[in-house]
Structure 1
Amino acid sequence: MDENLWLVVGLGNPGPGYAGNRHNVGHMVAAVLADRLSANFKNHKTNSAVAEGRSFPGGPKLVLAKPSTYMNVSGGPVAALLRFYSLEPDRLIVVHDDLDLPFDTLKIKVGGGHGGHNGLRDIIAATGTKEFVRIRIGIGRPPGRQDAADFVLHDFGKDERAILPTLLTDAADAIELIAAEGVTAAQQKFHSP
């Protein structure tokens, strides 16, 4: 196993109809990172689109992946990617939307439950562990009585879209910091008020 290698999985749903959805914020972060690394996503035999690169010469190698499956069945591709790259789950960073965090909030954690997130639930089931890094990107709660499933499958609103690029950049920065200096360093930087 390459100790300088991290697997970064951005969760979302496949296809252009879902591209701007709140549920696809993980895919969006992976795209920001791929642009930084001048890496292009290519179809991979793990049922994912994969891009690889380094933030700086000699720095950690990042394998960026967007499962080609729907969110609720992300576990198979993630487990296959870990096997393909001979990585343990402690080298996995999963980027996902989080209804329980206000919009424009970023939290980093290791382990824990799935919190009702079906993508995380499937990854935990497929890998047999909860012990991986999560980048939780707050999308807020649905307004009024709107169903949560309906809310996550809608695009960000106009005001949110104005702030979204900064949020995606912060998440990409956090991932690069985790890979270079560890989770604690990233938490200290991004969890401070």
Structure 2
Amino acid sequence: MYIIVGLGNPGKRYDGTRHNVGFDTIDLLAHRNNLKVNKLKHKALYGEGFWSGEKIILAKPQTFMNLSGESVRDMVEFYKIDTEKLIVIYDDIDLEAGVLRIRHKGSAGTHNGMKSIIYQLQEDDFPRVRIGIGKPAFANLASYVTGGFSKEEIPIMRETVTKAALAVEAIVKEGIDKAMNQYNTKKDPEKETKDQ
């Protein structure tokens, strides 16, 4: 069984923003696999299904980003899964827009949602799919991550979210190492060694 969590902020105000690419990936996974993410429990919207003989939970925490860990901890404890069966999808300002990075484990970096999850679980040993959104040159960081993408970025990010969804499916069906080989973006982002 896998719990697949996409991070974001609930509400129409945040639809299509940089911080919500995790939610966008969950929505695409639900669409691709004919699942509805419309039940409310564990402080999350979630849906259930089966891929390749594995039970799958797709979840979008509704706690707002900085408290994402409360929802994730509730799900992990309720379903009694090992954290290696938890996959978290989230935006990363330390990767260029459009860069995809899959990792077995690692630090939270600068991401408050991941900080909350690691704090609540008291471990960082779980797979994650990081979607690069780039870093602002001058803008306020909070305004940047809760803002939308530029016209030029939209097709790049749409493609990257699609790759992120395919990568998650590959992790479940073929294992994380194969998924990393296939979907990790080849070009080196600026801070590749940040959390290896």
TM-score of the two chains, using structure 2 as the length reference:
0.91
Mapping of 1:43-62 within 5 angstroms? 43-55=39-51, 58-62=52-56
2-side partners of 1:36 and 1:145: how far apart? 37
Aligned Cα RMSD in Å? 1.2
Task: Quote the offset at 1:91 in angstroms.
Answer: 0.5
| SS in structure 2 of the partner of residue 158 of structure 1 | coil
How far off is 1:192 after superposition? 5.7
Q: What one-letter code is carried by the residue in structure 2 that aligns with 1:28?
A: D
Residue in structure 1 matched with residue 2 of structure 2 by the alignment = 6
Cα drift, residue 184 of structure 1: 0.5
Q: CA deviation at 1:39?
A: 0.9
Distance in 2, matches of 1:117 and 1:37, equals: 28
1:81-112 per-position Cα deviation (integer Å, ceiling 9, x unaligned): 11222211111000000001001110000221
Unaligned 5+ segments in structure 1 are: none
In structure 1, distance between residues paired with 2:33 and 2:164: 15
User: After the TM superposition, which residues 46-125 of structure 1 pair with which residues of structure 2 at under 5 Å, given as runs?
Assistant: 46-55=42-51, 58-125=52-119
SS at match of 1:188: helix
Cα drift, residue 119 of structure 1: 0.3
Q: Which runs of 4+ in 1 moved over 6 A?
A: none
1:56-105: CA deviation from partner (whole Å, max 9, x where unpaired): xx432321000011000000100001122221111100000000100111
CA distance in 2, matches of 1:182, 1:140: 28
Q: What number of residue pairs does the alignment pair up? A: 186
Aligned to 1:171: 164
Question: Following the alignment from structure 2 to structure 1, what is the Cα–Cα distance between the partners of residues 184 and 22?
Answer: 19
1:74 match: secondary structure: helix
Partners of 2:100 and 2:185 within 8 A in 1: no
SS at match of 1:174: helix
Partner residue of 1:34?
30
Match of 2:181 in 1: 188
CA distance in 1, matches of 2:102, 2:37: 25
Instruction: Name structure 2 gaps, 5 residues minimum.
Output: 187-196
TM-score, structure 1 as length reference: 0.92
Letter in 2 for 1:135: V
